[in-house]
């Protein structure tokens, strides 16, 4: 397979794995995961096949928002270890061919950060303009991100008599990126972590980061200038580091965050639109919503990429669906009120949502890796972990990694309270754990390993031109990707009914072999480039087009 000069753009065909150090492995048995534990599990990640490790926030924090309320952007929370422990984990990952990216959470700080502590002491403080203050609350204000927790984005600071802005919690005041001193400080933060060996950043809540006032302020006529400058700084320091952005907006606006047709801003963005429509398609057992979402993706610069995912560390948001569509997904996968959050999302993991249906779960992960883009996994997905609804809110899916069948899931041997309670019941460690699945060749863990291997050997999925193939079966999603001499077809059945899928690939692939990448059922197209593919209940196939006579890729 020819990759030529594309090899430097490593993230186009990466497999990203997100984890929270706090809940991954407790090595000193104090109840909290740590970097020493992570270093011990790098070999597991290498065995899985991931190529990029994304670390959720590990900075010093009061921990009122799972580490996203930060008091020192240059530090390591002492519960998790030291800078030395972090560097050791990064170095170990690099030795196994795994890059590391970290969360960049610079849209706000903790209210206990020294900057804000000093800013609220006086209107004349050096750090006053590092945050956003008004004398009177504006009449028209944006809605809080967490409407069940906050009724306004402005909170009165009584000692100085002004209101400060916080799109998230009131204990997370927004930074003022219109201030050049703040932008310079963000660049220093980025430079610091690059110097310690990270390969980029997952940028939290980018729309709030670039536009803290909810509108373009006069001091910064073009709010995207912040991201452009950050990307330029990143490129000067290291040519291949990335910015992976959390940008949950309509596609047209997402294109702006790539930097438009010319690029120059975010390297990758999560594809929230595709994710949400995938769940609608699953609920309906109808592939049409997914096909429409993917076909509505705007063309993006060649050096940019979409990040595809099934689950992330936050709520499974459905905010871009219509109210009736969202209700369909709620009815199918989260009918109880305790499974829902903010009126717009779910706090569940995939296996319980699909009632543990083995075929359906595997179909979804096959789809994830077959979609054009860079797949992102949330820790525990590879073994089919469930959620803990008793914890509630977004922490329901942030439970300890389940390594063994022991009571504390092999996560810790501490007699103290754990950083988070272990999942109980049908998805507890007795039923779902790494140790048992490693020994079972037919486990979900080994299936995901196979998918990662096939994806890594199919660069067209990251680089190729994508097209949906028309189908008479509403439940079937069929698509192809082409790049250089390679063509890969993928077909997925969203229903429990067996179907026979007609494929019409055109005369340029006449008499070609369709090599089954996930099995042994190879087929051959006829002179017109047609073939018939059988799919079982929730079936899936990856088929590579190969010349039947020369065995060369087509």
- Residues marked as catalytic: 204, 246
Q: How many whole angstroms separate alpha carbon 515 and alpha carbon 513?
A: 6
Strand order from edge to edge, sheet including 340-341: 316-317, 345-346, 340-341
Cβ neighbours, 10 Å, residue 292: 14
Cβ neighbours, 10 Å, residue 262: 8
291 Cβ neighbours under 8 A, 6+ residues apart: 468, 477, 479
150 Cβ neighbours under 8 A, 6+ residues apart: 144, 166, 168, 169, 170
Q: How many whole angstroms separate alpha carbon 278 and alpha carbon 472?
A: 19
The CB-side HSE value for 265 (13 A sphere, CA atoms) comes to 25
Q: How many whole angstroms separate alpha carbon 369 and alpha carbon 367?
A: 6
Both tokens of 296, joined, read 């509505």
Q: Which of 497, 379, 396 is nearest to 434 (CA)?
A: 379
In this structure, the chain runs to a length of 554
Both tokens of 258, joined, read 């790539």
Residue 418 per-residue DSSP state: P
- Helices 225-237 & 180-195, crossing angle to 10 degrees? 30
Pairing label, strands 99-104, 52-55? parallel
Both tokens of 157, joined, read 């600071």
Counting DSSP H helices and E strands in the chain, the numbers are 16, 22
Q: By the 8 A CB rule, do 224 and 259 touch?
A: yes
- Helices 288-295 & 272-284, crossing angle to 10 degrees? 160
- The alpha-carbon radius of gyration of the chain (Å, integer) is 24
Q: How many whole angstroms separate alpha carbon 334 and alpha carbon 332?
A: 6
Both tokens of 498, joined, read 């067996």
Give the phi and the psi of residue 384 in degrees, each rounded to 5: 80, 40
Query: Cα separations (Å) of 93 from 21, 200, 470?
Result: 14, 14, 43
Q: Which of 127, 130, 209, 201 is nearest to 168 (CA)?
A: 209
Q: By the 8 A CB rule, do 169 and 63 touch?
A: no
Q: How many whole angstroms separate alpha carbon 265 and alpha carbon 268?
A: 9
């Amino acid at each position: 397979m020819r990759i030529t000069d594309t090899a430097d753009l490593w993230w186009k065909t990466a497999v990203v794995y997100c984890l929270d150090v706090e809940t991954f492995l407790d090595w000193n048995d104090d109840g909290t995961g740590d970097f020493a534990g992570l270093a011990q599990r790098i070999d597991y990640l290498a065995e899985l096949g991931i190529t990029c490790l994304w670390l959720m926030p590990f900075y010093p924090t009061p921990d009122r928002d799972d580490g996203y309320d930060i008091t020192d952007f240059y530090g390591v929370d002492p519960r998790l270890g030291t800078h030395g422990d972090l560097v050791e984990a990064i170095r170990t990952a690099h030795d196994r061919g795994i890059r590391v990216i970290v969360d960049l959470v610079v849209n706000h700080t903790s209210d206990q950060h020294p900057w804000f502590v000093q800013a609220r002491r006086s209107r004349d403080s050096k750090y006053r303009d590092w945050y956003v203050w008004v004398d009177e609350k504006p009449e028209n204000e944006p809605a809080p991100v967490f409407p069940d927790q906050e009724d306004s984005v402005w909170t009165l600071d009584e000692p100085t008599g002004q209101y400060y802005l916080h799109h998230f919690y009131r204990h997370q005041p927004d930074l003022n990126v219109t201030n050049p001193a703040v932008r310079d400080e963000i660049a220093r933060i980025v430079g610091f972590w690059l110097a310690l060996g990270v390969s980029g950043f997952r940028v939290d809540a980018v729309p709030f980061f670039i536009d803290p006032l909810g509108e373009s302020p006069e001091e910064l006529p073009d709010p995207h200038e912040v991201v452009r400058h950050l990307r330029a700084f990143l490129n000067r320091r290291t040519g291949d580091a990335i910015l992976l952005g959390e940008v949950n907006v309509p596609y047209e606006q997402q294109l702006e965050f790539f930097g438009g047709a010319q690029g120059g801003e975010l390297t990758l963005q999560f594809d929230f639109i595709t994710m949400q429509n995938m769940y609608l398609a699953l609920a309906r057992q109808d592939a049409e919503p997914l096909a429409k979402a993917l076909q509505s993706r705007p063309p993006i610069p060649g050096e940019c990429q979409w990040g595809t995912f099934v689950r992330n560390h936050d709520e499974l948001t459905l905010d871009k669906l219509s109210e009736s569509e969202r209700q369909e997904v709620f009815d199918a996968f989260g009918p109880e009120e305790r499974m829902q959050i903010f009126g717009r999302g779910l706090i569940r993991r995939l296996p319980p949502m699909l009632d543990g249906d083995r075929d359906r779960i595997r179909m979804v992960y096959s789809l994830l890796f077959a979609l054009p883009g860079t797949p992102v996994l949330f820790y525990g997905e590879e073994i089919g972990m469930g959620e803990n609804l008793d914890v509630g809110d977004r922490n329901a899916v942030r439970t300890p990694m389940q390594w063994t069948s022991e009571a504390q899931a092999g996560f810790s041997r501490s007699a103290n309270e754990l950083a988070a309670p272990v999942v109980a019941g049908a998805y507890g460690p007795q039923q779902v754990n790494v140790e048992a699945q490693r020994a079972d060749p037919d486990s979900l863990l080994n299936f995901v390993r196979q998918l990662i291997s096939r994806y890594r050997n199919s660069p067209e999925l990251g680089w190729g031109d994508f097209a949906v193939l028309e189908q008479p079966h509403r439940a079937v999603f069929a698509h192809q990707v082409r790049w250089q001499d390679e063509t890969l077809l993928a077909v997925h059945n969203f229903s429990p009914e067996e179907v026979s899928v007609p494929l019409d690939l055109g005369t340029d692939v006449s008499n070609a072999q369709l090599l089954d990448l996930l099995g042994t059922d190879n087929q051959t197209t006829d002179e017109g480039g047609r073939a018939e593919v059988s799919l079982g209940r929730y079936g899936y196939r990856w088929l590579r087009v190969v010349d039947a006579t020369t065995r060369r890729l087509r």
